[in-house]
Amino acid sequence: MARGRSKVAIGFIIVARSIVVGVAYYLVRYIPDLPSSFVAVFAGFLAFDIIVAMPKFSLHPKHWVQMVVVLLPRLSATALALTAGLTLGAVFGGLTKVGLPVVAGAVLCLGLAYTTAERIPGNISSYVGMISAISIFDRIARLSALSAAWWYDLGGPVLQMVYSTFVGLVMGWLVGVGVGIITRLCLPRGYRSVRSSAYERPLWMQPFRDVTRFGDDMIVMQVEVGDGAPIAYRTLAEVKLGSVYGIRVLSIYRTPQEVISPKGDDVILPTDQLTVVLPAEQAGTLISLTKGRDVDEQI
C-alpha cells in the first residue's frame, strides 16, 4: 500500500514538473534569444525541485522561512552566474571587433565563464553562465564592422540579451515557486532525486546519515555508564572501543559539562552519558560494557 502511494506521489510530481516546463516556456516564447527559454525552464526546475524536496512544508510561517533560506541563495547565485556570463560575453565579443581572433575569444569567454560560475557559492550549474556568455559573444562577434558609434553597436545586443535573459529568469522563478508550493502542500513528505544538485540543502537541514557518511549499518546511541561497568574508571585508550568494536565516542556528558570529541586520555566515570556511533550489531556489546555486566575479558 505504501509503495502504491509513493508511485502515485511520484507520478504527481512528474506531471507537476511538466507543467513547470510548459508554463515557463510559454511565458517567454516570444522573447528572442535562446538563453531566455533555457533560463526560464532551468530556474523553474530549480525552484520547483528544492521546494518539493523539503522534508516538511505547510502554510506555517516557519516553513516559509525555511523555503526562503534554502531557495534564495541558489536563485541569487544563478543570477550572479548569469550576470558574470553576460559580462564576459560582452567583453570578449567586443574584443573580437578590435582584433582578437574569434576562436581565441570564444575559448577564453567559455573558459572564464565556467570558472567564474564554479566559484560562485551556491551556484548549482555552470552551464547557465556558459550559455549566457557564448550567446552574447556570438551575437556581438557576428556584427559587421563597428561604426563610429561603437557603444551603440555593442550596447543594443547587450541590453537586449540582458533583458531577455533576466525576464526568463524571473518568469522561471515565479512558475517554479508557485507550482512547487502547490505540489509540496499535496505531498505527505519531501521527495528528492540524487540526479539533481538542487537538493543540496543546508547542512542543518540534511539527514544526519547523509552528513556523516557513516554508512547504512551505523547507528547513534546514547547510554549511561553504570557503577559496575567494565569500562568505568578507565581511559578511552585503555578500553579500545574503536579498535576492537568499531565504537566511536562522539561526546561524554558529565554534569555540568560535556566533552566533545574526547581524547584517548579522557577517563570514563559512572553516570557519564556517552553519545556514540557504532555498527548496529555492536549495540548489545555497548550495553554490556556500560551497564555493569561482566564482559571485562573482552576489553
| pLDDT exceeds 80 at position 159 | no
Helix and strand element counts for the chain (H, E): 9, 6
Rounded distance between C-alpha atoms, residue 66 and residue 210, angstroms = 19
Is the four-CA dihedral 241, 245, 249, 253 of positive or negative sign? Answer: negative
- Give the cell for residue 59: 502554510
What count of Cα atoms within 13 Å lies in the side-chain half-sphere of residue 234? 18
pLDDT at 298: 46
Q: What are the tens digits of pLDDT across the range 250-284?
A: 888 887 778 787 888 888 888 888 888 888 888 88
| pLDDT exceeds 50 at position 55 | yes
Q: How confident is residue 299, by pLDDT bands cut at 50, 70 and 90?
A: very low
Mean pLDDT of 82-111: 86
Radius of gyration of the chain (CA): 28
Are 190 and 67 in contact by the 8 Å Cβ rule? The answer is: no
Ranges 30-34, 97-101, 227-231: which has the least confidence:
30-34
- Class in CATH terms, 208-298: alpha beta
> How is the beta sheet containing 248-254 ordered, strand by strand?
218-224, 273-279, 248-254, 257-260
Rounded distance between C-alpha atoms, residue 208 and residue 112, angstroms = 36
Q: Which residue has the higher pLDDT, 66 or 238?
A: 238
Are 276 and 236 in contact by the 8 Å Cβ rule? The answer is: no
Maximum mean pLDDT: which of 119-123, 199-203, 244-248: 244-248
Q: What are the tens digits of pLDDT across the range 197-232?
A: 444 555 555 566 665 656 667 788 888 888 888 888
Q: What are the tens digits of pLDDT across the range 17-28?
A: 899 989 988 888
Q: What are the tens digits of pLDDT across the range 5-17?
A: 677 888 888 899 8
Q: Which residue has the higher pLDDT, 207 or 238?
A: 238
Could you tell me the pTM of the whole model? 0.55
Structural domain boundaries in the chain: 2-202, 208-298
| pLDDT exceeds 70 at position 48 | yes
Polymer length of the chain: 299
pLDDT at 296: 45
Rounded distance between C-alpha atoms, residue 103 and residue 98, angstroms = 14
Ranges 142-146, 238-242, 291-295: which has the least confidence:
291-295
Fill in the DSSP letter of residue 266: P
| pLDDT exceeds 60 at position 64 | yes
Q: How far apart are the first and last CA of the chain?
A: 47
Rounded distance between C-alpha atoms, residue 132 and residue 34, angstroms = 9
Q: How confident is residue 85, by pLDDT bands cut at 50, 70 and 90?
A: confident
Fill in the DSSP letter of residue 122: T
* Residue labelled with grid coordinates 556581438: 140
| pLDDT exceeds 60 at position 295 | no
Mean pLDDT score across all residues of the chain:
78
* Residue labelled with grid coordinates 558574470: 84
| Alpha carbon separation from 211 to 72, 202, 204, 208 (Å, rounded) | 22, 10, 9, 5
**H/E run at residue 249:** strand 248-254
Nearest residue to 89 via CA among 128, 145, 121, 118: 128
Amino acid at 205: M
What count of Cα atoms within 13 Å lies in the side-chain half-sphere of residue 261? 0
Q: How confident is residue 297, by pLDDT bands cut at 50, 70 and 90?
A: very low
pLDDT at 34: 59
